[in-house]
């Protein structure tokens, strides 16, 4: 450690240990491809020239002897008040250079390096399979040393052989963050790390309307738990285990519900997981008989690109009796009779309302919910939500997007 103190200032000792540890991994970055898949993760920036530089680093690696199975470009829209959609810009630059479009996967929710890791780790293909999988060799690319701790976390916590690939001038600017060692902590599981980093991301939601104007009860699925909100309960809002809050949901679905909605006409809750959906009555302890069923049984003319399931969000519009489904960059309306896809759908999600927020990119929602009393729909994405009035032409309410509540609980559910 005395030798280390000579090489590095005390404030940077932890970072230097991490750097030197990863150096030996980096030495093998150019080995011939193994039987495992090879992936590339290019980290974004809110500065266009920096994006161009990082894409160039990634493209030169793409031209090397390494055969890549996928390339993830990671970066959201309007990060640090920029006017860029980072992932889209990087994807366009790569395609312009000749990289096949089908090889590129966009992650456009992240606004920080921590979120680059978290959202890329969760990124899925249309069929629901993860882009980054255990056993992969992953090249984390940048012209900045933040690639080092991201690669370290993938290697230590995700059964991925990750190496950093950095080129260019990496000396920090005055505005650069220089300590990224908090990303690398092998003692914190990636599931726990991501849960804390992305809280209070809502993965699915439904609300049960009370009779004769009674308050509605909302159920928000958050990191394997359910946040129950009801003005009618004396104890107020509660964060509960899925089995306690929604006992009808099968135990193997807990923490894996993709979307949900309450149909106020048939008085049933619909939940979706993968290629299946299930139905139950509010408060029931078991599913309706015969469920789960295949998604194609609910929507007879489901488009080919949607048949793999893994919906992002859904809601039921009480006034028109239509179901709205969301997946990736698209959404569609199901007709009130027969649950068939309405003419002209699917459509691009960013056409859902005229004032689609720039910071929300091309879509990729997490959840949706509808209030019949207000005739409004709430859409959730990352740590934010928007409120849309459906009275007449859909309109974004002023002041949105807004941050999602509640705060991260300090005590695990069920423990004191």
- DSSP assignment of 44-105 equals --SSHHHHHHHHHHHHHHHTSS---SEEEEE--BSGGG-S-BHHHHHHHHHHHTT--GGGEE
- Average pLDDT of 79-106? 96
pLDDT of residue 313: 98
Tell me, yes or no, if the two domains 2-197 and 200-403 fold the same way: no
Cβ atoms of residues 246 and 219 within 8 Å: yes
Distances (CA, A) of 360 to 75, 386, 401: 12, 10, 9
Separation of alpha carbons 264 and 321, rounded Å? 9
Which residues have CB under 8 Å from 23's CB, separation 6+?
A: none
- Average pLDDT of 384-398? 92
Cβ atoms of residues 258 and 311 within 8 Å: yes
Q: How confident is the model at residue 176 (pLDDT cuts 50, 70, 90)?
A: low
pLDDT of residue 177: 67
pLDDT of residue 172: 66
pLDDT of residue 238: 86
Q: Indicate the length of the chain as a whole number.
A: 416
Residue 235 has pLDDT above 70, yes or no: no
Separation of alpha carbons 42 and 38, rounded Å? 13
Q: How confident is the model at residue 243 (pLDDT cuts 50, 70, 90)?
A: very high
Residue range 21-43, pLDDT digits in tens: 444 334 333 444 445 799 999 99
Closest to 70 (Cα-Cα) out of 30, 34, 40:
40
Cβ atoms of residues 74 and 41 within 8 Å: yes
pLDDT of residue 27: 37
More confident residue, 332 or 81: 332
Distances (CA, A) of 233 to 217, 237, 249: 9, 8, 22
What's the pTM value of the predicted model, to 2 decimals? 0.87
2-197 placed in CATH 1.10.10:
no
Separation of alpha carbons 250 and 265, rounded Å? 24
200-403 placed in CATH 1.10.10.10:
no
Phi, psi at 81, each rounded to 5°: 65, 25
Q: Find the range with the poorest average confidence among 109-123, 149-163, 207-221, 385-399.
A: 207-221
Share of residues in the chain with pLDDT > 70 (%): 85
More confident residue, 5 or 113: 113
Q: Find the range with the poorest average confidence among 107-111, 131-135, 338-342.
A: 338-342
pLDDT of residue 211: 72
pLDDT of residue 233: 66
More confident residue, 266 or 15: 266
Chain centre to alpha carbon of residue 110: 9
Q: Domain map of the chain by residue range?
A: 2-197, 200-403
pLDDT of residue 179: 72
pLDDT of residue 145: 87
Separation of alpha carbons 29 and 164, rounded Å? 8
Distances (CA, A) of 142 to 55, 187, 280, 368: 8, 26, 48, 35
Residue range 307-328, pLDDT digits in tens: 999 999 999 999 999 999 999 9
Cβ atoms of residues 259 and 247 within 8 Å: no
């Amino acid at each position: 450690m005395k030798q280390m103190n000579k090489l590095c200032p005390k404030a940077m000792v932890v970072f230097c240990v991490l750097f030197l540890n990863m150096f030996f991994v980096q030495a093998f970055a150019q080995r011939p491809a193994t039987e495992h898949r090879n992936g590339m993760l290019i980290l974004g920036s809110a500065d266009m020239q920096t994006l161009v530089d990082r894409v160039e680093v990634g493209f030169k690696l793409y031209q090397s002897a390494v055969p890549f199975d996928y390339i993830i470009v990671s970066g959201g829209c309007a990060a640090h008040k920029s006017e860029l959609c980072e992932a889209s810009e990087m994807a366009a630059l790569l395609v312009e250079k000749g990289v096949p479009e089908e090889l590129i996967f966009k992650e456009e929710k992240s606004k920080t390096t921590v979120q680059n890791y978290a959202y890329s780790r969760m990124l899925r293909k249309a069929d629901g399979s993860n882009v980054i999988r255990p056993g992969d060799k992953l090249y984390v690319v940048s012209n900045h040393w933040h690639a080092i701790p991201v690669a370290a976390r993938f290697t230590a916590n995700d059964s991925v052989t990750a190496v950093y690939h950095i080129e260019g001038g990496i000396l920090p600017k005055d505005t650069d963050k220089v300590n990224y060692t908090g990303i690398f902590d092998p003692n914190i599981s990636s599931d726990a790390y991501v849960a804390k980093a992305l809280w209070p991301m809502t993965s699915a939601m439904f609300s049960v309307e009370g009779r004769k104007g009674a308050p509605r009860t909302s159920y928000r699925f958050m990191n394997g738990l359910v946040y129950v909100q009801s003005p009618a309960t004396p104890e107020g809002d509660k964060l509960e285990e899925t089995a306690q809050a929604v006992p009808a949901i099968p135990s193997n679905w807990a923490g894996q519900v993709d979307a949900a909605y309450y149909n106020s006409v048939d008085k049933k809750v619909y939940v979706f997981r993968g290629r299946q959906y299930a139905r139950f009555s509010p408060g029931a302890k078991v599913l309706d008989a015969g469920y789960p069923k295949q998604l194609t049984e609910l929507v007879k003319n489901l488009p080919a690109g949607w048949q793999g399931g893994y919906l992002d969000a859904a809601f039921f519009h009480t006034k028109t009796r239509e179901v709205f489904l969301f997946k990736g960059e698209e959404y569609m309306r199901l007709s009130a009779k027969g649950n068939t896809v309405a003419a002209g759908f699917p459509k691009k999600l960013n056409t859902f309302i005229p004032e689609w927020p720039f910071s929300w990119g091309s879509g990729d929602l997490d959840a949706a919910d509808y209030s019949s009393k207000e005739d409004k729909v709430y859409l959730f994405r990352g740590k934010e939500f928007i409120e849309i009035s459906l009275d007449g032409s859909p309109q974004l309410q002023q002041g949105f997007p807004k941050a999602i509540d509640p705060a991260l609980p300090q005590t695990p559910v069920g423990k004191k």
